[in-house]
Amino acid sequence: MGLIKFLFKSGFYSTCGAVGAFAVLTRKSQFTSLSEADAFKAAHLGTYNPHGNPMLRDRCVRRVRFDKIRPELLEQEGALVTEFCKGIWSGKGYEIQRRVLERKHHGPETAGQLWAPEQLAASDYSVGTQITDHFEVIEKTPERIVTRCGGSPRTRGVRANDGIFEMGAKVIPEEGCVEFALESVFYQGLGKTAETIPTWMEFLHQQYTKVWMETAVWHCMR
């Protein structure tokens, strides 16, 4: 979440807010609260949030009709969510954060991770893939790719700040559309706390998520 503060200070969000088109552009992305985690994430949280600290949980959803999706992505199982994932990390929505992390952490110890846009656009995001020393793929299915975030993948145990970020793409034949989803869970791992994430930070997180959603969806469209 520290990077959200950085982006705010850098003027990224104020720029978006100054552009009236931002609200129009992202109006189709809707947020819902998550009160429970599925079995995989619940087990993960049981290990890495040992004190049961308060968590920010949300889910951003965007639906797109079949006729707007690149047809080859609908023909092969798992292709859609992988392409959606590529669109997030290699897209313009992640560019600022990628550059910040690159300046801070790109070096010999992280050379095996994904850094360049070309790498981020070509990866299959299999389990174990590490992204810009801040994300690591911990689960992949034909409909979702789950990453651990909030700190360096080199820190294997409980972290001061931690989280789960999931990208999903589900085909809904009866409605003739694809449902794209971004789920986030953020929490303090080390030490017991009763504090929750401030409302202003949650708001900024959601605006950033909307940017990621749009740039990733565009990557999947005709």
Q: What is the pLDDT of residues 140-197, one digit of tens each?
A: 999 999 999 999 999 999 999 999 999 999 999 999 999 999 999 999 999 999 998 8
Residue 15 covered by a domain:
no
Residue 129 covered by a domain:
yes
User: 5 falls in which pLDDT band (50, 70, 90)?
Assistant: very low
Report the pLDDT value the prediction gives residue 23, as an integer from 0 to 100.
65
Residue 17 covered by a domain:
no
User: 22 falls in which pLDDT band (50, 70, 90)?
Assistant: low
Residue 21 covered by a domain:
no
Residue 63 covered by a domain:
yes
Residue 138 covered by a domain:
yes
Q: Region 91-95: what's the mean pLDDT? A: 95
Report the pLDDT value the prediction gives residue 59, as an integer from 0 to 100.
96
CA atoms of 144 and 163, how far apart (whole Å):
16
CATH code, domain with 124: 3.30.530
- Which of 199, 210, 152 lies closest to 19, judged by CA? 210
- Which residues lie closer than 8 Å to 72 by C-beta, 6 or more apart? 79
CA atoms of 32 and 12, how far apart (whole Å):
24
- Which residues lie closer than 8 Å to 86 by C-beta, 6 or more apart? 120, 121, 122, 123, 125, 219
The share of the chain scoring above pLDDT 90, in percent, equals 83
Q: Is the pLDDT of residue 3 over 50?
A: no
Residue 187 covered by a domain:
yes
Count of domains forming the chain: 1
Residue 74 covered by a domain:
yes
For residue 70, the enclosing domain spans 2-6+31-103+112-191+198-220
Report the pLDDT value the prediction gives residue 95, as an integer from 0 to 100.
97
pTM above 0.85, yes or no: yes
